[in-house]
Amino acid sequence: MINKGLWTGEVPLKNFKTDTITPLEFYGFLIKDETTDEPIAIGSIGFDLTERKKNQKEILELQSKMNAAIRIGKIGYWDFDISTQSFVCSPLMYSIYDIEPDQLLTIPLLESLIHPDDVEKHRKNVREIILEKSSHAFSYRITVKDGSIKYVMVDIEVLRDSEDKAINFRGTVIDITKQKEADFEILDLQSKMNAAIRIGNIGYWNWDMSDDNIEWSKEMYAIHDVEPGTKITPDLIREIIYHKDLGILDRKLAEKKGQGISAPNNYRIKLKDNSLRYLLSFSEIIYDDNDKPIIYRGTTMDVTKNIQSELALKESQEKFSKAFQTNLMGMLILDGKRRVIEANEMAYTILETSKKKLIGKTVMDSKEVKIDEIERDRLWGKLQEDGEILNEEYKIELKSGVKKTLIMSIAQLQLKDKINYLVNIYDDSKRKEAENRLETQFHELQKTNSELDSFVYSASHELRAPLSSVLGLIQLIQMEDIDPKLFQHLNMMEKSIERLDDFIKDIIEYSRNKHLALNLETIDFTTLIEHSIESLWYLENTHKINININVEDNIDFASDCKRISVLLNNFISNAIKYHDTNKKDPTIWILVKTTSQEAILVIKDNGLGMANSQLDKIFDMFYRVSSKVMGSGIGLFIAKEVLFKLKGTVDVQSKIGEGTTFTLKIPNQIS
Amino acid sequence: MAKDINILLIDDSDVDNFINKAIISKEDNISQITTMTSGSEALNYLNTNIHNTEALPDVIFLDIKMPGMNGFEFLDEYIKLPHTLINHCKVYILSSSIDSLDTEKGKNYPVIKKHLTKPLAHHSIGDILNED
């Protein structure tokens, strides 16, 4: 030791003043004569280890999992003077950092040893401690000579001067590599054990987050319906997980150390056939010392069957409870002894009773309803034999004396492993009542309808007969040699009566269109048009207008002949009445073309024409374009109604002074 | 030169018979206009003159709605008369009814030449009378 000139040791010394034992580490060295180089004295620096021992305890508490035996031998002590930037280290420091005992420890040397990823953290911790902290413990990695990584835990304390300026650091260093390794090993072992325990459909996966290398056990491939051996990437995983459940993965990945939610996750994946599979996953994230997640791993199992049966159960329960509370039918659930254990509101309404009076008793015992016992036994026997009763008529008498006919169905219902009966009752008396009422109403309506028809028929004759007589008389008088003034007045009288007569005709046509069903036959357009023009012979304008008819009806067209003729009469008479006979060549063109789909009727004139603002209104009831022309304003309204009945359409183009074109399209009803 | 025409009007309304007679009489070639106010009266008249070709009408204007025997009931009996008579007469319905049901019903009687709606003045009488 003398030869070496340097030695160290740890000894407890007694403090003479306080009389307490103080743990001390000493650092001995030879003092040599400067000229002779002979040893002349022994020098020693002693370190008070009290503080260190205290730290040691704290660390022990902090790292309860650590093996104390391993640790104690590996605690190094150091002291750093900020003004001189020099370290004084206990011998163990050299072995921990794996440097030669005579090497001078400096900040650059220390930083060269620290794992590159941890240098910045180290600096930051030191800076923080200089500024504001008095003590701090943290860990970082160092790389030793042989290239292996050691984990060290540092505990620093700061000495400050009167101005609170840091002047000195000191602290301890512990090698916790073994402990770390043990931790990893234990975790690894645990997962392997877990994996071993979870047999069957449980997959194990390991996602190394530093290089996104993902390992899947073969069960994982099977669970996810992915070809075994497929390279698994985070992108692929995102693709597999059902898009609505990606949030679960994102939340898990965003977890910070310590806030890990230990609850297992339920999520869905979408298979190739677009069906969903429900998975249950237990997972954990491993963090490095910088609290950066490095590994994400866990187990996954297929719980689709469980989930599906749960869903199905929930759904059928819901359906049942909804169906049970329907107000269309009375429903009762009876137990094996025919006691009512549940009933819905409708059942109480039908039986005119209440929950209180019925539940727990048989319907018979409740005395709420009188039942024919023979009938009851017959149906009960049938139920036992067939297993169900379907829509049987069942006559009952209520307490109030009201007799009802029920339509009853009974089916067996398994509830909590016991046979129960679900009884549906439907108050048929009400239905019969409604049926009768409906029938009466129908007959009344039919009567009203036929009365209306008969009224219209009578009106058509009784109203028209005297009018036509008057018209005949007027014409008769006009044939005589009379005063021109009288002739004029009779003319006006005739016009007024004709207007009234036309109106009556229109009303009759409207009523007929409403009430009579379609009567389909092949339409002879040429004859219909000729009849129509003939019937308009009496109109003053008729003889002054050229009527140009072109019918192409080679393809048979079927529709309601009477209605088609109403349409033709309306449009042709309008074309005549609203013509401008002062024009050079007053003409009406009537064009018909039939196809297998429809008939196109065009009634075109070069008459007065209409403004655009009028076109919207001409089909309205009682709308009249001009007061100069006699009319009731109901003609085109009827035409529209008739077209509606024939499922046809009408289009109108018009220009004032140039004329009007009506284009009708009527579907061909030929069979 | 067309032969003079003998006409029979059957209508329960005296007014209408008067008007129609007056209007028809304005036409040329009319030899005789007879008016009857009921179907049965008209049948009697025809039966009485069944062999008197001179007295038989060439054209009959028949109203539908009449008390007692209506126009169709008259036709039911009329068609039982000898063919010689039926072939001799042209029957026109002259009614104030514009009811399509009446027109439809009229189709069941081939003897009906045409269905005319009153007033008669709205039709070209000359054309009707000269029709074959």
Q: Return the residue in A460, A467, A477, A573 with the most chain B beta carbons within 10 A, the one to mutate for interface testing.
A: A460
Chain B residues touching A471 at Cβ < 8 A: 118-119, 121-122
**Which tokens go with A594?**
């039939």
- Report pLDDT for A47: 66
Q: Please report the pLDDT score of residue A55 as a whole number.
A: 63
Is the pLDDT at A424 greater than 90, yes or no? no
Of B19, B26, B124, the CB nearest to A472: B19
Per-residue confidence at A3, pLDDT binned at 50, 70, 90?
Answer: low
Residue A236 has pLDDT above 50, yes or no: yes
List the single best residue of A452, A462, A467, A475 to mutate versus B (max B Cβ within 10 A). Answer: A475
Q: Which residues of B touch A469 (CB under 8 A)?
A: 13, 15-16, 19, 118-119
**Is residue A611 domain-resident?**
yes
Contacts of A509 in chain B (CB under 8 A): 98
User: Peptide bond before B119: cis, by omega within 30 degrees of 0?
Assistant: yes
pLDDT at B36: 93
B119/A472 touch (CB, cutoff 8 Å), yes or no: yes
Could you give phi then psi for residue A105, rounded to 5 degrees? -80, 125
Q: Which of A566, A576, A589 is nearest to A648 (CA)?
A: A566
Across chain A, mean pLDDT equals 80
Residue A67: pLDDT over 50: no
To test the contact with chain A by mutation, choose from B13, B65, B122 the residue with the greatest count of A C-beta atoms within 10 A, namely B122
pLDDT over 90 (residue A313): no
Per the CB < 8 Å rule, is B22 touching A476? yes
For A270-307, the pLDDT digits (tens) are 888 888 888 877 777 878 877 888 888 877 777 776 66
User: Mean pLDDT for chain B?
Assistant: 87
Q: Which of A286, A308, A330 is the last residue of a domain?
A: A308
Q: Residue A122 is part of which domain span?
A: 6-175
Span B25-61, pLDDT tens digits: 888 888 899 999 999 999 999 998 888 878 889 999 9
Name the least confident of A37-46, A342-351, A640-649: A37-46
Same domain (yes/no): A417, A557: no
Helix (H) or strand (E) segment spanning residue A586: none
| Cβ neighbours of B95 in A, within 8 Å | 461
Pick from A472, A479, A505: CB nearest B16: A472
The verdict on domain B5-130 having CATH code 3.90.226.10 is no
Specify the range with the lowest mean pLDDT, choosing from A139-153, A233-247, A312-326, A414-428: A312-326
pLDDT at A228 over 80: yes
CB atoms A465 and B13 under 8 Å: yes
Tell me what pLDDT residue A8 has.
63
User: Residue A153: its pLDDT value, please?
Assistant: 78
What mean pLDDT comes out for the span A120-130? 81
Please give the average per-residue pLDDT across A646-653, as a whole number: 94
pTM tops 0.80, yes or no: no
pLDDT in tens, A552-567: 999 999 999 889 988 9
pLDDT band at A644 (very low <50, low <70, confident <90, very high): very high
For the cut 80, the answer to whether the pLDDT of residue A317 exceeds it is: no
Residues in contact with A180: Cβ distance below 8 Å, sequence separation at least 6, in sequence order: A151
Q: Give the number of domains in chain A.
A: 4
Q: Is A486 within the bounds of a domain?
A: no
Is B114 part of the contact surface with chain A (CB cutoff 8 Å)? Answer: no
Q: Please check whether residue A102 lies inside any domain of the structure.
A: yes
Instruction: Indicate whether A662 pLDDT > 80.
Output: yes
Look at residue A176 and tell me whether its pLDDT is greater than 80: no
Same domain membership, residue A254 and residue A209: yes
Identify which of A92, A7, A83 has the alpha carbon closest to the alpha carbon of residue A45: A7
User: Residue A196 — very low, low, confident or very high, per pLDDT cuts 50/70/90?
Assistant: very low
Contacts of residue A248, defined as CB under 8 A and 6 or more positions apart, other chains included, come to: A241, A265, A266, A267
Q: How far is B49 from chain A (nearest CA, A)?
A: 30
Contact A472 B100 (CB under 8 A): no
Q: Which residues of B touch A534 (CB under 8 A)?
A: 123
Would you call A461 and B65 a contact, using CB atoms and an 8 Å cutoff? Answer: yes
SS3 A69: helix
Q: What is the pLDDT confidence band of residue A581, given thresholds at 50, 70 and 90? A: confident
Buried b (16+ CB within 10 A) or exposed e, A553-583: eeeebbbbbbbbbbbbbbbbbbbbbbbbeeb
Examine the pLDDT at A359 and tell me if it is beyond 70: yes
Report how far residue A270's alpha carbon sits from residue A615's, in angstroms, rounded to the nearest whole number: 60
Q: Are B16 and A467 an interchain contact pair (Cβ–Cβ within 8 Å)?
A: no
- pLDDT bucket at A190, cuts 50 / 70 / 90: low
Q: Which residue does chain B place closest to A561, by CA atoms?
A: B100
pLDDT in tens, A453-491: 777 767 777 788 888 889 889 988 988 888 998 998 898
- What backbone torsions phi and psi does residue A555 show, to the nearest 5 degrees? -85, 125
What average pLDDT does this structure show over B60-66? Answer: 91
Shared-domain flag, residues A150 and A255: no
Assigned domain for A437 exists: no
Instruction: Tell whether A157 and A217 lie within a shared domain.
Output: no
Q: Does residue A571 lie within any of the structural domains?
A: yes
Compare all CA atoms of chain B with the CA of A540 and give the residue at the minimum distance.
Answer: B122
Contact B99 A461 (CB under 8 A): yes
Residues of chain B contacting residue A465, judged by C-beta atoms under 8 Å apart: 13, 16, 65, 96, 118
pLDDT at A342 over 60: yes
What's the CA gap between A131 and A146, in Å, rounded? Answer: 36
Find, in chain B, the residue whose alpha carbon is nearest to that of A478.
Answer: B23
Residues A156 and A206 in one domain: no
Q: How many CB atoms lie under 10 A from the CB of residue A641?
A: 19
Both tokens assigned to A100: 């030669």
Average pLDDT over residues A186-196: 52
Question: For the ranges A438-442, B56-60, B96-100, which has the lowest average pLDDT?
Answer: B96-100
Cβ distance of B122 and A457 shorter than 8 Å: no
Cβ contact, residue pair B118, A562, below 8 Å? no
pLDDT at A34: 72
Q: Are residues A348 and A237 in the same domain?
A: no
Q: Which amino acid is at A58?
A: E
Are A62 and A147 in the same domain? Answer: yes
For residue A583, give how far its alpha carbon lies from the nearest alpha carbon of chain B (Å): 26
Q: Does residue A410 belong to any structural domain of this protein?
A: yes
B24 interfaces chain A, CB cutoff of 8 Å: no
Q: Could you tell me if A367 and A285 lie in one domain?
A: no
d(CA A238, CA A74): 47
Beta-carbon separation of A473 and B98 below 8 A = no
A250: burial class by Cβ within 10 Å (0-12, 13-18, 19+)? exposed
Q: What is the dihedral of CA B121, B123, B127, B129, to 10 degrees?
A: -60
- Identify the contact set of chain A against chain B, taking CB-CB distances under 8 A: 457, 460-461, 464-465, 467-469, 471-473, 475-476, 479, 505, 508-509, 512, 516, 534-535, 537-538, 562
Given a cut of 70, whether residue A53 has pLDDT beyond it is no
Instruction: Say which CATH number the domain at A543 has.
Output: 3.30.565.10
Distance of CA A416 to the CA centre of its chain: 35
Do A295 and A333 belong together in one domain? Answer: no
> What is the per-residue pLDDT for B75?
94
**Is any Cβ of chain A less than 8 angstroms from the Cβ of B2?**
no
User: B74: distance to nearest CA of chain A, Å?
Assistant: 19
- Least confident range of A433-442, A469-478, A505-514: A505-514
CB A154 within 8 A of CB A172: yes
Q: What is the CATH number of the domain that holds A223?
A: 3.30.450.20
Packing angle of the helix pair A561-577, A525-535 (nearest 10 deg): 50
| Whether A468 and B20 lie within 8 Å, measured CB to CB | no
pLDDT of B91 strictly over 90: yes
Nearest to B99 among A457, A468, A534 (CB): A457
pLDDT at A49 exceeding the cut of 80:
no
Q: Does B19 touch chain A (CB under 8 A)?
A: yes
- Verify that A162 and A249 share a domain, yes or no: no
B16 contacts on A by Cβ (under 8 Å): 465, 468-469, 472
Chain A: closest CA distance from residue B42 (Å): 21
CB-based burial, B19-39: b 16+ in 10 Å, e otherwise = bbbbbbeeeeebeebbbbbbb
Establish how many alpha carbons lie within 13 A of residue A330's alpha carbon, considering only the half-sphere containing its beta carbon. Answer: 19
Mean pLDDT for the stretch of residues A171-198: 62
Q: Which two tokens stand for residue A538?
A: 């009496």
pLDDT at B28: 84
A6-10, A108-112, A252-256, B34-38: which has the highest mean pLDDT? Answer: B34-38
Q: Which residues of chain A make contact with B93, given a CB cutoff of 8 A?
A: none
A-B CB pairs within 8 A amount to 72
pLDDT of residue A41: 74
Mean pLDDT of A24-37: 72
In chain B, residues with a C-beta closer than 8 Å to the C-beta of A538 are: 121-122
| β-pair type (A369-371, A388-398) | antiparallel
Q: Partners of B92 in the beta sheet?
A: B61, B114
Asked if B131 is an interface residue toward chain A (Cβ–Cβ < 8 A), one would say no
Average pLDDT over residues B6-24: 90
Contacts of B117 in chain A (CB under 8 A): 535
